[in-house]
Structure 1
Amino acid sequence: MTTTMAKSAAWCARWLVCVGLLGAASVLHAQSNNYPNKPIRLVVGYAPGGVADITARMVAQKLSDALGQQVVVDNKPSAGGIVAGETVAKADADGYTLLHMNYGNAVSAAMFNKMPYDIKRDFQPISAMGFFDVVMLVDKSSDIQSVQDFITKARANPEKYNIGTVSLGSGQHMSAVLFKSLTGLNATIVPYRTTPSLMLALKSKDIAVAFEIISPAMPLIRGGEIKAMAVSSGSRFRGLPEVPTLAESGVKGYNVTAWNGVAAPAKTPRPIIERLNKEINAALALPDVRSKFQDVGIDARGGTPEELRDILSTEIDKWNNLVTTMKLERQ
């Protein structure tokens, strides 16, 4: 009798588990089919007006049109985009809170010892949005004529020929660290809080060269106030075709491509990820979006969730290796 009752209890328990799983699956299916039925929040880890904010708002508007629900950009600026990341990591995995992810997130994963989330585990990548360069800059009146000229001068006088970037541990800062690593220079890297303060330091000769993403530098380059020595990626930037890459300029192995994209909390239902991926890629194919992205120095390019996950993983490994090689202090 006892054995029979035990078997019955076990059977009932299994039946209840199955019913529960079927119920949960039904709810997820219903949510996915009904998605979206309310506004979506796209959290950006940078202040309004910057390249991250500009591109996020362009895509958000197109997504609003395609999805029939407003996609609202929510700016939460902080070092390394950590506050934005934490906000999304802790959100419900229902597709209504998304993260504007970028190469800075990969750098933060390498530079910070303690993070409130695991960038690989706690997010589901959806799609890349764009790729862009970091550019090596000098003032228009600088005596530096080329990348190799700077390397020669910096080797002879490292105290005079220093390098400026924004924010210690930023993608721009790490791009400069990689430059030092590959050239063997002993030049000092000086971090500034903002791009305007970095550009002022360059024009005031407080720094010899600067590493900055191309978007905020373009107006000054086009206006002739500063000169672009080289771009960071493996191919020349179409907006400045006369400017060589750092690899072309003799820095063998140098290749840094900045990027941004969109991610959701882990465990967001696959149908929702696929819907968002489809609409993001459709938005990026629109001529007006591509043109606006190009105006700020970005190549509008999407892809699959798996491709963005691979980019993120590769970038984290790359910056981790650089931090170890250069014996940088993790924050």
Structure 2
Amino acid sequence: MSGNWSPPAAGQLCYNVNGSCVKMPYSPAPRVLLYTVFGFGVVLAIFGNLLVMISILHFRQLHSPTNFLIASLAGADFLVGATVMPFSMVRSVESCWYFGRSFCTLHTCCDVAFCYSSLFHLCFISIDRYIAVTDPLVYPTKFTVSVSGICIGISWILPLVYSGAVFYTGAYDDGLEELSSAVNCIGGCQTVVNQNWVLIDFLSFFVPTLVMIILYGNIFLVARQQAQKIENIGSKAQSSSESYKARVAKRERKAAKILGITVIAFMISWLPYSIDSLIDAYMGFITPAYIYEICVWCAYYNSAMNPLIYALFYPWFKKAIKVIVSGQVLKNSSATMNLFSEQM
């Protein structure tokens, strides 16, 4: 694979002007392959997350605090697919940035903001699931729609303010101005981040991830205990109250399991990039270009993975897709359709 990623010797410029970056084009076969792979990720991220948002926002049965968080998470992933990935795809394959310096800064700002927004959403979802599994009967009064709205607001505002403050003030490359100027020739859009901000970025990724690991670890311990209790009383006559508690606990455990898979997928996708960025900043930016691109696109592809996870594990999402694609969603009565084949 490294053979396909290694471009041939440079012999062209991105622009026929002084100070232009050197263009290192791929041969036709790898070029087509890369556009196909990256383009598939873009299409999946855009249309997959769009289906998730339409499903949750249109069907009243899906209106819940957790699902609103999932819809907002899908919105962040949709924006990664619509505003970040297409331009990164051209840059990665053509090895040139053709969209202007101002848009380069905006692109970088959006990249960081939307990706951190996804991380914050997942962190709040893990808190939501922890409360739902550990105290399922009290959960509806603790995590309401208004609380979900506050979590959504924080998940959008903080990343946008952070990325804007860092990249529009130029604080990210303090002390690396010469290297930044050399990398960002005409036709280039590479962000060189100093050690301080790389460490802050890594901690901003690591701390919420650690919180999610701890919460989901506790979730599955509690879920295991609940399953054992249900199994122990299974052969005994249950009161209606005990039966209801068992059904609620089972439903919340299943939801936590599916969203736990989403969190694991996020960590696997983003860990290589986060570790590489940290090591690279302290080792003098020695990472080969193709290794960096692989790490970046592994992270980007996470925005396309969540709809696939929902499609595999959520029967309601499969049914919602059929209704949307077939055009039945345009009917007035579609919003009140029953998407659940059985009560869990």
The question of a shared fold, defined as TM-score above 0.5 by the shorter chain, is answered with no
TM-score of the aligned structures, taking structure 1 as reference length: 0.28
TM-score of the aligned structures, taking structure 2 as reference length: 0.27
More strand by share: 1
More helix by share: 2
